[in-house]
Amino acid sequence: MRRLLPRGTTSLPAAPIATLAAALVVAAAALPASGAAAAAPYTLTTLHFEVHVGPTRDTTCDVVGDLYTPATASPQHRVPAILTTNGFGGSKDDQAGFGQAFASRGYEVLSYSGLGFGGSGCKITLDDPDWDGQAARQLVSYLGGATGIAFTDAQHTQPAPALDLVRRDPRNHLGQRSAHDPRVGMIGGSYGGEVQFAAASVDPRIDTIVPMITWNDLAYSLAPNNTDQLQPGGVSTATPGALKVNWAAGFSGLGVVDGVEGAQQDPSRLIGCPNFADWVCPALATAGSTGFPQPDTVDRLRHASVATYVDRIRIPTLLMQGQGDTLFNLNEAAATYRALSAQGTPVKMIWQSWGHSDSTPAPGEWDQANPDPATQYETARVLDWFDHYLKGSSVGTGPAFAWFRDWLPYTGIATPAYGTSSTFPVGSRTPFYLSGTALARSSAGLAAGSQTFVTPAAGAPTTFESADVLDSYLNPSLPEEDQPGTSASWTTPPLAADLDVVGSPKLTVRVSAPTVAATQATGPAGELVLFVRIQDVAPDGTASDIHALTAPVRVPDVTKPFTVTLPAIVHRFTAGHSIRLVVAGGSVNYRGGLVSAPVTVSTGSAGQVLTLPVTD
């Protein structure tokens, strides 16, 4: 949990190839005949930045960063720049491999620790544009040659020289002339992904961004409701969702630990809500007791989310999101992709294998410590993206949409395992009808029947499984199983052929819950909460959830049908396996409804249907 980015490095099954970063760091490994060491490809300088943040810019923070300068850069030979920062709980050091590799490829790279982390001061404000966005904006000014921002000491008494090595742009992306306008892109994952949106929303000088495994709407991320969407294809809902109890607890503890570590330099980080903006602690306490965030909390979370200000993101964006991610699932990137595409923003998207809950990339995908475009598919896509948009290279930027298929064998770089498309979404919607206890491919002759289960009181869990925060540390993670009488399920016969699903399954269903029908008018506390999952059932009867993904649903009105948009998956159901739909009353990873209630799902009608996005 210390860093919400990949923990390991990939090991390639092919013959060992020296990675780019290793070759760059060990610059003196080979000596010329004269005995003189080869020149280092870059220099590294640690700097402190004085930034003024907040809605009125009246809070001063110290930000620490490492500047990687290519040996080839000079005032006469200026280079483009890349700004990067850490995931939640990390620091500037997490980006060292990237800084080394891309500085050696002719980019000025500034890696910095975000506010509240890794030696930087001030509190964690959840990548709010008024705070984290403004801090990044001032680092952009430094890259553009501004003075009075960078210092060589944490006390800000020794000014650093003006930076005169980065290319300048004559106009920003609003078509206006701006002071200190560098040619600059941003990259980073998780917390270091959303800050790119925050920065771009307040600074039109930024030229391109590459947000990885990050959120569209933080209210959905931390307390999702997978029905009652406010707009098609989005994740924001009018009805609050169910709190992710384990992720919320993990983040809280991790943030406090960083605050304690940094309190010696900035004691104010422990005043009020330790190391978090003051509103966070009471919001978490309330959500923990009720199981859902209050309206003012939702507003604050959305203020720190690109879903709220996506209309201000007009620069080329490469989204990279993880299939193995129970924190920021694929639906978040899909929502951002749809919104950006609809407004004409250049955007492409990659669905990689790894994410927060499955944090080790597949061989040949990505290596955070040693990025090598020759052996890693995602690293090559990132390099091409920056070369195209920052260096002006004619290199292509790849397909509009790419997704990793874990069922395909390959060696070396992961390119053969990726499916590609010029459009998103892909596949065709294939219906499976609820029929008795089965999922039927045809609506003809559906079996009438019903299944009844009981939701627990006080939002208690009713499943046996691992905490999703720990999935990346359990190999394999524990399967999700429901206690007797707490769920209903429907299963297909064994499949006659492989069936590949790429995208979000959708369930349209109607339930009967008389107890809840009498209490739902009181608001979220009286509404029905359900948990919907898709399972792959092997011929021996073993059932596995797909990447431990669950769709919590707080039903706004149990007297009406509702549609559940499940987290997107990329999965092959192999011939001989079956598909199972599970609707449960509780989950160990979420806070369920507060009132125990019987729930009945009746079948025999074509209106009760699961649709899957099936590809050829």
User: What domains appear along the chain, each with residue ranges and CATH number?
Assistant: 39-421 (3.40.50.1820), 428-615 (2.60.120.260)
pLDDT at 14 exceeding the cut of 60: no
Residue 76, classified by CB atoms within 10 Å of its CB into exposed (0-12), middle (13-18) or buried (19+), is: exposed
Please give the C-alpha separations between residue 291 and each of 421, 460, 470, 536, in angstroms, as whole numbers. Answer: 39, 10, 21, 29
pLDDT > 70: what percent of the chain? 91
**Residue tagged 């770089």 (tokens):** 413
How many CB atoms are located within 10 Å of the residue 464 CB?
12
Residue 374 in tokens: 């020759």
DSSP 271: S
What is the rounded distance in angstroms from the CA atom of residue 601 to the CA atom of residue 510? Answer: 7
- C-alpha to C-alpha distance for 69 and 117, rounded to whole angstroms: 24
Residues 23 and 81: beta-carbon distance below 8 Å:
no
Q: Residues 235, 211: contact at Cβ < 8 Å?
A: no
- Say if residue 380's pLDDT is above 50: yes
Summarize the confidence of residues 194-218 as an average pLDDT. 98
Residue 205 burial (C-beta neighbours within 10 Å; 0-12, 13-18, 19+): buried
Asked whether the predicted pLDDT for residue 3 surpasses 50, the reply is: no
Quick one: DSSP state of residue 496? S
Prior bond to 476 cis, omega within 30? Answer: yes
Reply yes or no on whether the pLDDT at 30 is more than 90: no
Is-contact 294 300, C-beta < 8 A?
Answer: no
Q: What is the CA radius of gyration of the chain?
A: 25
**Which of the four pLDDT bands, split at 50, 70 and 90, describes residue 296?**
very high
| pTM for this entry | 0.92
Q: What is the mean pLDDT of residues 300-321?
A: 98
Integer Cα distance of 252 and 274 in angstroms: 9
Residue 249 has pLDDT above 50, yes or no: yes
Q: How many CB atoms lie within 10 A of CB 399?
A: 18
Does residue 25 have a pLDDT over 50? no
Task: Tell the residue number behind the tokens 């106009």, with chain if given.
Answer: 171
Going by the DSSP 8-state scheme, the letter that residue 268 receives in this structure is G
Residues 82 and 136: their CA atoms lie apart, in Å, by 12
User: What is the C-alpha separation between 50 and 77, in angstroms, rounded?
Assistant: 28
- What does the block give as tokens for 551? 């769709």
Using alpha carbons only, give the angle 377, 381, 382 rounded to the nearest 5 degrees: 120
> What's the pLDDT score for residue 393?
97
**Greatest distance between any 2 Cα atoms in the chain:** 88
The tens digit of pLDDT for each residue in 102-143 reads: 999 999 999 999 999 999 999 999 999 999 999 999 999 999
How large is the average pLDDT for residues 288-295? 94
470 pLDDT tier (thresholds 50, 70, 90):
low
Of 31-40, 168-177, 324-333, 536-545, the least confident: 31-40
Token digits of residue 394: 């004619």
Calculate what percentage of the chain has a pLDDT beyond 90: 83
Closest CA to 20 of 371, 368, 378, 367: 371
* pLDDT bucket at 389, cuts 50 / 70 / 90: very high
State how far the Cα of 258 lies from the Cα of 113, in Å rounded to an integer. Answer: 12
Tokens of 558: 């149990």
How confident is the prediction for the chain on average, in pLDDT? 91
pLDDT band at 37 (very low <50, low <70, confident <90, very high): very low
pLDDT class for 146, splitting at 50, 70, 90?
Answer: very high
Angle subtended at Cα 228 by Cα 340 and Cα 524, rounded to the nearest 5 degrees: 130
Task: Say what the pLDDT of residue 398 is.
Answer: 98
d(CA 234, CA 358): 24
**Tokens 């509404």 belong to residue:** 527
Angle at 417 between CA 415 and CA 420, to 5 degrees: 75
CA-to-CA distance for 362 and 385, rounded, in angstroms? 21
pLDDT in the model for residue 476: 52
State the average pLDDT over residues 397-426. Answer: 98
Residues 6+ positions from 479 with CB-CB distance below 8 Å: 465, 542, 543, 544, 545
Tokens representing 16 are 């060992």
What is the pLDDT averaged over residues 410-423? Answer: 98
Give the model's confidence band at 12: pLDDT under 50 very low, under 70 low, under 90 confident, else very high. very low
Tally of CA atoms within 13 A in the half-sphere of 79 that contains its CB: 22
